[in-house]
Structure 1
Amino acid sequence: IVGNPMLPAIHGGVLGAFMEMTALAQLSVAAPMKRQPRTIDVSIEYLRSGRPQTTYARAIIKKLGRRIANVHVEAWQETRSAPIASLRGLFLVAPSED
């Protein structure tokens, strides 16, 4: 998971996937659905280097509509007040009519 062994720092793709999965898990817990929510769009802000150590993330559902959910995720390592990255994502929570 280390992207830059010289620092060392967690690879940004790994951190982004971790936060996206956190958002999807929070949606699944908050509103059980027949199908897993699908990612529409995510925006990730990398705030500081993540070291190869235990990383935590928390997702907050800002808006849960009939079709779309807006979720915000923050990831941190040692203290929650110093996040290493944040994600804002839109997720499809209801399948389109086929």
Structure 2
Amino acid sequence: MNPTIFQPDEQLTIQAHQRIPYCAAINLQIGTDSLNKRLYSLPFARQNIGNIFLPALHGGLIGGFLQSCISLYLMEQQNLQESAQIIDYSTDYLLSGKPVDSYAQCEIMHAGKRISHVTATMWQTQSDKPIAFARAHLQMPAIAN
């Protein structure tokens, strides 16, 4: 696959930074790819290195980035005013995260009134070579009558 083309959306990024302060701390960016699908970006920053000898991104940073992407994606796709609560979350670490920009896309596997299931895939140079995969079950916020 070709390298990822990321087209940032400054307004969505600012909203994400306001809703989830961790997004601002890691400089998570929101935008679209060349097919106009939602895409999340984690620009490389030296402080994100966990293993200085490889060097490789910190595993907690990868997990936190994917968890944030899942929350933001569900909020956007389901038009939620507040975040859904995570019931269960897991990350599969597939490859070391190199010191380069990273990207993620999410997919809603099930969106119910009470429970939703969302996945996220993270890659760096090629979308067909993921470095991490996450899945989450989330409890949807109560809707006021």
Task: Give TM class, smaller chain.
Answer: over 0.9
Aligned length: 96
Number of the residue aligned with 2:96: 49
Number of the residue aligned with 1:70: 117
Bigger fraction of residues in helix: 2
Contact 1:47–1:85 (8 Å) recurs in 2: yes
In structure 1, list runs of 5 or more residues that go unmatched.
Answer: none
**What is the CA distance between 1:35 and its match in structure 2?**
2.3
The alignment partner of 1:22 has SS state of helix
Q: Which amino acid aligns with 2:73?
A: Q
Number of the residue aligned with 1:16: 63
TM-score by length of 2: 0.63
Relative to structure 2, which stretch is displaced further, 52-61 or 32-41? 32-41
Counterpart Cα distance in 2 of 1:22 and 1:11:
17
Q: Which amino acid aligns with 2:95?
A: R
Counterpart Cα distance in 2 of 1:84 and 1:34:
31
The alignment yields a C-alpha RMSD, in angstroms, of 1.3
Q: Which amino acid aligns with 2:84?
A: P
Contact 2:75–2:81 (8 Å) recurs in 1: no
Structure scoring higher RCO (CA < 8 A, sep ≥ 6) equals 1
2:106 matches 1:59: yes
The alignment partner of 2:67 has SS state of helix
In structure 2, list runs of 5 or more residues that go unmatched.
Answer: 1-47
Give 4+ residue runs of structure 1 displaced > 6 Å after superposition: none
- Percent of aligned positions that are identical: 34
Bigger fraction of residues in strand: 1
